[in-house]
Structure 1
Amino acid sequence: MTQPRSRNLFKTIPGLLVSAFFLWYTFRGISFDEIRSLRLANPAWVFGVLGFTLASYTLRCVRWTRMMRSTGARFPVCARVLMTSLAANNILPFRIGDIMRVFTYAGDLGASPSVILSTVILEKLLDIFVLVLLFVAFMGKNVNPHSRLTAEVLLGISSVGLLILLLGARMLEPVIQRFFARFHKDPGQTSKLHKIEHWLLLALDCIRQIGIAGSLLLLLQSCIIWACEGMIFVSGARLIDLAVDHIGPWQAVSVANLSYLIPSSPGAIGTFEWAVKTSLVSHSANEPHAALYGLALHAWLLISVTGAGGIIFLLHRVRIHNRTPLLQEIETLPRELPDA
């Protein structure tokens, strides 16, 4: 086990270097006096940060329970698994939390890994669609044409992806079957291809069972989730009386969360702070205050989500008397697709 762990550690070094560069780039030139000048100008907004954080992540659990409805998984189990996976994503590389959600907790959820994977993909598509929509809606006047074009392309891709998954799942099934039928004549590839085909068909069947009405409800829930997330950013700005226009925090929430797509350390450390600072400065915020605001807000989100998920994870392990070390469980994750 030592060699795989060493290789995985070596693979994390580029991400750590990316995070270190973005942290340096974001906070260069900020003096200690500027840090000390930051004050909690409106303490009542602490309740806004706390309340909207609780609402945002509770609604994420509700949304995923809705996606898992066809499997019979209940809210308490879905909430535990989702919060545990989010906590793991914040501290472990390679989105291990999502992989654990698909494979490690399949038995807890009473679902096959392929069905869970389909919901994870749908969840990511919904989030990216809403985030890019927010970015396009609250783009500042100073956004360069390349960023505007990138945002519009991402919006188009995510829209097409959602439409195909939500409205065309039934029509895609025969297309996939015909595609894989061409390759089943090769005995050397038959087993792997059957496995991939089986996974794709199970995933499409899960999405098809959600239905158009259920899909529209999921989209509405996603919009509410990101409205709550945006209000965390607004509450944080009001808390320190950050001088920024009304749409600055809304662009910051979209760019900051899209920054998770940039390969970096777990938790998007560095890229998140850079994204928040860049967004707020384009909306007239003071550079040092915008950078420190991004750091404080990111610290809160990492501590609250990781802390909540970690506590839930530990309490469950104590309840079921699981003494297996977490890293040992991660080593047992499959390196290729299982049969179901």
Structure 2
Amino acid sequence: MTPQQRRNLLKTVPGFLISGFFLWFTFRKVNYAGLRQVRLVEPAWMLVAVIFLVAGYTLRSHRWWLMMRASSRAKFSACARVLMTSFAANNIMPLRIGDFLRVFSYAGDLDSTAPVILSTVVLERVLDVFTLLLLFVATMGRNSTLISHKTQIVARVLLLGVSGAVLVLLLAAGKLKSPFRKLLNLLPHPGLVGKIEARLVSALDAIAIISLPVRLALLLESFVLWACEGMIFVAMTRALGIVSDWIGPWGALAFSNLSYLIPSSPGAVGTFEFTAKLAMVSHGAAETPAVVFALVVHVFILFTVTAAGGVMFLLHRARRGPHPSLSQEVQELPVELP
């Protein structure tokens, strides 16, 4: 094992410990005898969940294709394959390896470069976090015992600031480079500032070359694809007969997906279950059914997305012919993003 591999291994340990803690915290009050009472009461809703999952990830692929189309001739099929492969890798491998593969290993497949792809990944994250924060703030105060009134006010003020920043980023990305450069020049540590500036300018350039109508379409598509994912949560409550108010599944969607921001094991195991359960309980669900709901939703999404990405990865490799092994591709990835 190389020194870098040892360092990477050590980096994964805290994430697994965090996941273990959240799993313990999630299950510590569960009535295990009551687990057997939670059953699939309306199986037809599982089909609804599948339909919305396919729709949501098709929209994710289309959104990324719109971003890539501004600077490359990448086909929709190639963008969908690379995106789903990266999601699958992120679900089973530590250190967000899927993002590194998307940026570096598949740049040639997309007729693009690593900095350009990285900038689209950054934009993708900004749109997702913005949409989830909007949904979280919209749901946290309605019939919820999760957050106090004062915290809700602070969160709404913060969301207003984030919303303004995202809109400025989408509407005036090309005009932000000079102000950001002046701001960064005021900071110490010129080496670190130089890296931040290079990545920021690259991201702003990538956004600026996307036409304004397409940028607005990306924002709208982000709302729609997360609505599709929310319907998966709604369908699961119906399928399992979970009793909560109608806001519960939408609060669970926002809170559980924001939990991916917490460093943890691949697939946000533990943090997802804890936050989804917490949101459902705060909207009237009983503790044990809420835990089952969180587990079923997470396993359903993780398994289907990972399986779909894995199949697309293997089919592409079979068609492409001789190629380096996946482990070799991972070993050849750079230590840090450009």
Provide TM-score, normalisation by structure 1: 0.90
Give 2:107's aligned residue: 106
In the other structure, the counterpart of 2:96 is 95
Displacement of 1:195: 7.6
Aligned partner letter, 1:115: V
Tell me the TM-score normalized by structure 2.
0.90
Structure 2: how far apart are the matches of 1:294 and 1:141?
18
Shift of 1:312: 0.8
Is the Cα contact below 8 Å between 1:135 and 1:151 reproduced in 2?
Answer: no
Residue 127 (structure 2) pairs with residue 126 (structure 1): yes
Q: Determine which of 149, 154, 159 is the counterpart of 1:155.
A: 159
Match of 1:44 in 2: 44
Counterpart residue number, 1:186: none
- CA-to-aligned-CA distance 1:185-224 (integer Å, 9 cap, x gap): xxxx999988875654443222112122111111110000
Contact 2:273–2:295 (Cα < 8 Å) also in 1? yes
C-alpha separation in 1, matches of 2:319 and 2:42? 41
2:24 paired with 1:35:
no
SS state at 1:93 partner: coil
Listed as ranges, the matches of 1:226-245 within 5 Å are 226-245=226-245
Q: In structure 1, the residue corresponding to 2:263 is in which secondary structure?
A: coil
Separation in structure 2 between the aligned mates of residue 121 and residue 213 of structure 1, nearest angstrom: 19
| Residues 150 and 127 (structure 1), Cα distance of their counterparts in 2 relative to 1, 3 Å cut | farther
- Rounded to whole Å, the distance in 1 between the matches of 2:15 and 2:146 is 29
Paired AA for residue 129 in structure 1: F
SS at match of 1:109: coil
Partner of 2:138: 137
Mark the CA change 1:182 to 1:231 in structure 2 (over 3 Å): closer, same or farther.
Answer: closer
| Equivalent residue, structure 1, for 2:4 | 4
In the alignment, what sits opposite 2:60? 60
| CA deviation after TM superposition for structure 1 residue 100, in Å | 1.5
Cα drift, residue 256 of structure 1: 0.4
Aligned to 1:164: 168
What is the CA–CA distance in structure 2 between the aligned matches of 1:44 and 1:275, rounded to whole Å?
26
Q: Which moved more, 1:241-250 or 1:137-146?
A: 137-146
Question: Bigger CA drift: 20-29 or 228-237?
Answer: 20-29
- The one-letter code sitting in structure 2 at the alignment partner of 1:163 is L
Q: Which amino acid aligns with 1:81?
A: V
Aligned length: 333
Q: Are 2:144 and 1:116 equivalent residues in the alignment?
A: no
Cα 1:215–1:2 shift into 2, 3 Å: same
> What is the root-mean-square deviation of aligned Cα atoms in Å?
2.5
* 2:204 alignment partner in structure 1: 204
Change (3 A) 1:78 1:95: same
Counterparts of 1:151 and 1:181, CA distance in 2? 31
Can you list the C-alpha shifts for 1:235-271, whole angstroms capped at 9, x where unaligned? 0000011011111000000000000011111100000
Cα deviations by residue, 1:266-315 (Å, 9 ceiling, x for unpaired): 10000000001100001110100001110111011110011111111111
Give the distance between the partners of 2:194 and 2:24, measured in 1 at CA. Answer: 48
Rounded Cα–Cα distance in structure 1 between residues aligned with 2:136 and 2:180: 34
Q: 1:132·1:151 contact (CA, 8 Å) conserved in 2?
A: no
Preserved contact between residue 126 and residue 222 of structure 1 (Cα < 8 Å): yes
Deviates more, 1:148-157 or 1:44-53: 148-157
Where does the alignment leave 5 or more consecutive residues of structure 1 unmatched?
A: 184-188
- Segments of structure 2 that go 5 or more residues without pairing to the other structure are none
* SS at 2:108 equivalent: helix
What SS does the aligned partner of 2:109 have? helix
AA aligned to 1:116 is I
Offset at 1:169? 1.5
Q: How far apart in 2 are the matches of 1:143 and 1:284?
A: 14
SS of residue matched to 1:106: coil
Q: Following superposition of structure 1 onto structure 2, how do residues 285-296 of structure 1 map, counting pairs within 5 Å?
A: 285-296=285-296
**Distance (Å, rounded) in 2 between the aligned partners of 1:181 and 1:28:** 50
Measure, in 2, the Cα distance between the counterparts of 1:198 and 1:29.
48
- Secondary structure at the aligned position of 1:138 is classed as helix
> Take 1:182 and 1:256, find their aligned partners in 2: how far apart are those partners?
37
User: Conserved in 2, the CA contact under 8 Å of 1:196 and 1:337?
Assistant: no
Counterparts of 2:175 and 2:229, CA distance in 1? 35
- Contact map agreement 1:132 1:154 (CA 8 A) in 2: no
| Alpha-carbon distance between aligned partners in 2 of 1:69 and 1:114, rounded to the nearest angstrom | 15
Closer, same or farther: CA 86–322 of 1 in aligned 2, 3 Å: farther
Q: Are residues 178 and 35 of structure 1, via their aligned partners in 2, closer, same or farther at CA, if it must alter by over 3 Å?
A: closer
SS at match of 1:98: helix
Match for 2:314: what amino acid?
L
